[in-house]
Chain A
């Protein structure tokens, strides 16, 4: 009886997750990410390539406000490389002695600055559409990185043209229409490690990079998880044996 109850409980909360809200969008195909699974880790080389795609393509319109330049040390850049990248960006500085606003080069403790000073400017430059900040896109969309990759590499189809409303068709976008023109094209960036910059490659790399941007602690989480669960299995086993032993002579 309890088993039946438990399985209903399990069904009850697993169910709604699977009860996908009806929409026009297709379900993106599952990719074999390096960070999937119990032992998943990020592929640092892929993250660095993804960073190049973000900086070369996406950063023209999309911010990354929760990633500080110093965070990039976690994906394999040295302190000097981080300083050098940061120095390419301009951020607001302290007011000068007349009280007027100043700007300065970004430092490692700064976050990636948004390409636009505010939402209104962003909309004005993008035909009224607001390019969302990408720091959390991999967690704020159903199917996360699979969705991002499908949207970029698969959803537009060949030679996409804007429709009469100026929107493009993309079967993975909720509602089926997206204001962003297909951002990736062959050799849009030149990878430092020489990898061929196909649309598929760039899309995979930037999707993985954005997953890291959304969940930089993924590796720590999974590695701690293995240790905790193994420990708990041992402890629970010992507790069970202790229970059986203590109850051995009790009629129940």
Chain B
């Protein structure tokens, strides 16, 4: 980079549009805490997953037809006739799942290490906005193949908006562009599915800007004391992120090449039939906990509010968590409740996957109640009453060998 920046022509251009010196400042010399662990890899992995989805999505859209009569056939044509079409389709479908795996791990890191606390509240909010945009994008993307789950999932979820008092049914018709999910719906979902990822890019830029402004949190959760707490991003975190990307790609390749349909639902290989509802409508796995929360409340509007509230409440997290200590490393009580929350989310996932019958009903309700209790009651209480472990003096001190 130094060699490049010494070149006359490069300096001429950089003087007028500082692309290279900006890149040098923000990607190479940029100070990062020296003690970041592998939980900090998930941010760059999320970026990789986003790029993967956009690139595969663009090439798939060269072959896909967004018309109700032709969509399913066009996807089969991609799988059978388009050169490497099967590979691109499976990359995109499994890529969506891996994007959520990585983002959920990234959020879990934030929850555990208190990355949402001051002064990173806006960074946290931007992340939540990205999550919401991802969920919208994924939902609409799943409709596009126009299989049974595509159609009926769209029907169930768009019908939720009818719960809004007075204007609800009108909004649903407006969303559908008709009196039921149909061709009009498919076309507009295609348009928006293509658009939203670029909106996500915009929010990611803001997210990274907010991050660079305050610098990363770290596993100890303590503020940096001085330059000795940092190392330059390049080469230390570039190589570490590259290694993490390698591991990610291996796991991705295992699913892509050997288990390509395991995270999906077989019913989506049946063309959409508006006259025949599948026995069990389930969303993709990454929506299951929210689906469980939705179904846990018997009232339609209540269920919708609870589902939205499940993410909405996360915006308040920096204030609900009253502890002054960021990292769970030094919060023995919080650490265990974090674990319980993770178990609760898995339980919610199973509840969402199963039909709302038998013991799944009370289990889903208890798990939903616990989720909100964790954030609204437990977190404030733990923050007030917990005795944290003593914090180290600085980031550098515990790691520098005397």
- Residues of chain A whose beta carbon lies under 8 Å from any beta carbon of chain B: 1-2, 4-6, 8-9, 11-13, 15-17, 19, 21-23, 38, 66, 71, 132, 135-136, 139-142, 144, 174, 214, 216-217, 220-222, 224-226, 228-229, 232-233, 235-236, 239-240, 242-243, 246-247, 250-252
- In the complex, the answer to whether B258 meets A251 with C-beta atoms within 8 Å is no
Of all chain B residues, the one with the shortest Cβ separation from A174 is B279
**A15/B253 contact (C-beta < 8 A), A1-B112, A174-B279 known:** no
A19-B399 Cα distance, complex, nearest whole Å: 45
Interface residues of B in 279-337 (CB under 8 A from A): 279-280, 282, 285-286, 288, 328, 335
Residues from chain A with Cβ under 8 Å of B343 in the complex:
8
Interface residues of B in 184-209 (CB under 8 A from A): none
* In the assembled complex, B256 has its CB within 8 A of some CB on chain A: yes
Q: Select B353's contact among A15, A132, A217, A246, beta carbons within 8 Å.
A: A15
- In the complex, the answer to whether B270 meets A8 with C-beta atoms within 8 Å is no
B324 to A: closest C-beta gap in Å: 21
A235-B169 Cα distance, complex, nearest whole Å: 54
**A236/B257 contact (C-beta < 8 A), A9-B104, A15-B353 known:** no
- In the complex, the answer to whether A22 meets B357 with C-beta atoms within 8 Å is yes
In the complex, which range does the number of interface residues on chain B fall in? 35 or more
- In the complex, the answer to whether A141 meets B349 with C-beta atoms within 8 Å is no
Q: Select B87's contact among A15, A66, A221, beta carbons within 8 Å.
A: A221
Of all chain A residues, the one with the shortest Cβ separation from B399 is A251
Between-chain CB contacts (< 8 Å), 7 pairs: A1-B112, A66-B80, A220-B86, A229-B254, A233-B250, A239-B239, A252-B34
B353 to A: closest C-beta gap in Å: 4
Of all chain B residues, the one with the shortest Cβ separation from A139 is B269
**Secondary structure call for the B interface:** helix
Q: Select B250's contact among A4, A136, A236, beta carbons within 8 Å.
A: A236
- In the complex, the answer to whether B354 meets A21 with C-beta atoms within 8 Å is yes
* In the assembled complex, B181 has its CB within 8 A of some CB on chain A: no
* In the assembled complex, B101 has its CB within 8 A of some CB on chain A: yes
Of all chain B residues, the one with the shortest Cβ separation from A242 is B239
Residues from chain A with Cβ under 8 Å of B236 in the complex:
246-247, 250
- In the complex, the answer to whether B288 meets A16 with C-beta atoms within 8 Å is yes
- In the complex, the answer to whether B35 meets A16 with C-beta atoms within 8 Å is no
* In the assembled complex, B246 has its CB within 8 A of some CB on chain A: yes
* In the assembled complex, B260 has its CB within 8 A of some CB on chain A: yes
Q: Select A12's contact among B39, B76, B285, B335, beta carbons within 8 Å.
A: B285
